[in-house]
Amino acid sequence: MTTVRDIAQLGAKVLRQKAEAVADVHDVEICQIIEAMHNTLATTQGVGIAAPQIGESKRIIIVASRPTPRYPSAPLMEPTVMINPRFEALSETQEKGWEGCLSIPGIRALVPRYQEITIYYTDRRGSSVSSKLSGFVARVFQHEVDHLEGKTYLDRVVDNTDIFSESEYVKLADNMH
């Protein structure tokens, strides 16, 4: 059964809750949530999704960077399920970059994020994984982890003039190429 869920939109209570840690990665409910996350993400041009975005307050994200019309220069990677993810910044330096969100359609913003991070998570088999991420994929990871903390990328915007409608962002992006 292919389950595709509605994506929670800004204002939905679940997007402002701190998500619960996953105790058993093999739990049937957890497996169903992960399947629904994969299926839902596949219907979008998104490059990641967090369980709260499909209405499940669990600490699960999928990072799935790929070139799309929304992110034409995104690197291609295998969609990766990350359970109970966390990270450490490898330097204090943050860089602004453009972000959007499936839960906040029609808006883009320049968001400061760490450029290099070490990530830690549990994979679907229950193994502990750690690796280093940088650039765009590090940004996606931090964006999705924010959802698990009840935050959206707009909470990280430093300057309100860094928030654009999608149509103005497209004009700006066209001028940058």
Question: For residue 177, how many other CB atoms are within 10 A of its CB?
Answer: 6
C-alpha distances in Å from residue 149, one per residue of 17, 39, 51: 7, 23, 12
Which residue's entry shows tokens 């389950």? Answer: 3
| Residue ranges per structural domain of the chain | 13-176
Which residue's structure tokens are 């996606």?
140
Class of 13-176 in CATH: alpha beta
Q: In this structure, are residues 39 and 6 in contact, taking their beta carbons and an 8 Å threshold? A: no
- What DSSP assignment string belongs to 87-139? EEESSS-EEEEEE--TTSTTEEEEEEEESEEEEEEE-TTS-EEEEEEEHHHHH
Q: Which of 31, 37, 66 is nearest to 52 (CA)?
A: 37
Would you say 177 is a known binding-site residue? Answer: no
pLDDT category of residue 60 using cuts at 50, 70 and 90: very high
| 143 annotated as ligand-binding | yes
| Enzyme catalytic residues | 144
Q: Mean pLDDT for the chain? A: 96
pLDDT confidence of residue 164:
97
Mean pLDDT of the region 34-61:
97
Nearest to 137 by CA among 119, 162, 158, 151: 119
* pLDDT tens per residue across span 63-73: 999 998 888 89
